[in-house]
Amino acid sequence: MGINRRDFLRVGSGGLLLAGGGLLVPAWAKGAQLLQPAALPDGARESALLEALPGKVPLIKRSYRPPNYETPPEYFREVFTPNKAFFVRYHLANIPEVEARSWQLRIGGEVESPLVLTLDELRRFETVELAAVCQCSGNRRGLFQPHVPGVEWSYGAMGNARWRGVRLRDVLNKAGVKKGALELVLDGADGPVLEKTPDFVKSLPLWKGLDENTLIAFEMNGEPLPHWNGFPARLIVPGWTATYWVKHLSSINVVSAPFDGFWMKSAYRVPVGKFPVVERFLSQETAANTPITEMVVNSLITSVREGERLPLGKPLELAGIAWDAGYGIRQVEVSTDGGQSWRNAELGTDHGRFSFRPWHYRFQPRHKGRYTLLAKATNRIGQTQTFELIANPAGYHHNLVHQVAVDIV
């Protein structure tokens, strides 16, 4: 879909209310430019306007071409991120509007019988649904000190949804993967504007593709995937960062040697041994670095915002979300005194181990003044969040304990 200037809505200081699709702009959105964390680079803070892509509510624009738009943090007060508010991330600007009727998925390479599936044919495999967090490897990159180049995301390059589709495993089994197969090479319908730019093609270890939770999804929160989130079908790799969640999926090529495309060899890599990960992508690992795989455990305070003024005498409802690579959240601890003392928050409904897990903690502020609130999640295998940033060249895996200061007045 070509992005048309006229399709945009800018939320300025005036009380603009309707976006392209006739969508209401929530009242808080009008001031949302002011919610940019102070730690973001100046340029990123100033250029981040709220703009609505066709079919979306206004999101925080990080770049226009390719479209990179993040979800304003207020939407994370809900455990499932609305499709219309779900973040959008593209590497390349040539994004065709794929039609359901003519879309085809090709499965080839090291298989007994190559397949070409239409959407109807894909839907004939057993259908499954699961809740999973889709988070960009570089979520919160803009908060890195010192700053690193890349899309200067704040907290909203992520979302949680119920994904409905079929198991990639079932499709691969139908094609019959040959012995010696090592990786799956995944391509989507989008491409570069200039020939020289490498197409966005990812690979996945065969074992991960055969995991029962790895899906080819065609629905999100009970609706067809929005165009900007991969219509008509995308890969879902629960627990792994969204770089593998190829949108507008068009081909799966089974290969017996490590795939050496730019987006595997040169991008989306982290230094070996710096982050606590269980699942590694060994066929792509070198002595120096390794593909990013699992998300690190993380949490976000969503019920209050930085600098908010709250009346003394009323209980303060501290609430938020926590997530990890799918081991499950065991505990969320909160501090209301800048990290000196910690209490356990209460965990809310469990929507599955790959989903955001809501949590809340109610307390009664005893005096006026500034309260520094923190939240720290720990998962069931004992991984927890950091208090000091783990520096890495591309600014991935930011899981510093989130901190919000409010004033009791």
Q: Is 247 in the site for ligand MTE (CB under 6 A)?
A: yes
Q: Is 321 in the site for ligand MTE (CB under 6 A)?
A: no
Measured from the CB of residue 352, what is the shortest distance to ligand MTE in angstroms?
A: 19
Q: At 35, which amino acid appears?
A: L
Nearer to Mo ion, 136 or 216 (CB): 136
Of 158, 221, 227, nearest in space to 20 by CA: 227
| Distance from C-alpha of 77 to C-alpha of 156, rounded to nearest angstrom | 12
3-class secondary structure, 175: helix
**Contact flags string 79-108 toward ligand MTE, x per CB under 6 A:** -------xxxxxx-----------------
Which one of 154, 213, 221, 229 is in contact with ligand MTE (CB under 6 A)?
A: 229
Nearest to 30 by CA among 51, 15, 8: 15
Whether the bond into 232 is cis, omega within 30 of 0: yes
Instruction: Compute how many residues bind Mo ion; rule: CB under 5 A.
Output: 2
Q: Quick one: which of 245, 259, 354, 356 contacts ligand MTE (CB under 6 A)?
A: 245
Q: Determine the Cα–Cα distance for residues 142 and 9; give it in Å rounded to an integer.
A: 24
Bridge pairing between strands 115-117 and 269-271: unpaired
Contact call for residues 133 and 295 (beta carbons, < 8 A): yes
CB 357, CB 298: distance < 8 Å: no
The backbone torsions φ and ψ at residue 264, rounded to the nearest 5 degrees and listed phi first, read: -105, -45
Least separation in angstroms between residue 243's CB and Mo ion is 5
| Contact pattern for ligand MTE over residues 169 through 198, marking x by CB under 6 A | -------------------x-x--------
Q: Which is nearer to ligand MTE, 246 or 304 (CB)?
A: 246
Out of ligand MTE, Mo ion, none, what residue 248 binds, judged by CB under 5 to 8 A for its kind, is ligand MTE
Q: Which residues are CB-neighbours of 273 under 8 A, at least 6 positions away?
A: none
Residue 292 engages Mo ion in binding (rule: CB under 5 A): no
Q: CB pairs under 8 A, 24+ apart, for 265-272?
A: 267/394, 268/137, 268/241, 268/243, 268/292, 268/394, 268/396, 269/394, 270/392, 270/394, 270/396, 270/397, 271/392, 271/393
Q: Does the protein bind ligand MTE through residue 246 (CB under 6 A)?
A: yes
Shortest spacing between CB 129 and ligand MTE, in angstroms: 17
Binding mask 224-263 for Mo ion (x = CB under 5 A): -------------------x--------------------
Under the binding rule (CB under 6 A), the answer on residue 242 touching ligand MTE is yes
Work out the number of other CB atoms within 10 angstroms of the CB of residue 269: 22
136 is a contact residue toward Mo ion (CB under 5 A): yes
Minimum distance of ligand MTE from residue 36's CB (angstroms): 20
209 binds, among Mo ion, ligand MTE, none (CB under 5 to 8 A by kind): none
40 sits near Mo ion (criterion: CB under 5 A): no
Contact positions vs Mo ion (CB under 5 A):
136, 243
Contact positions vs ligand MTE (CB under 6 A):
86-91, 134, 136, 188, 190, 200, 229-230, 242-243, 245-248
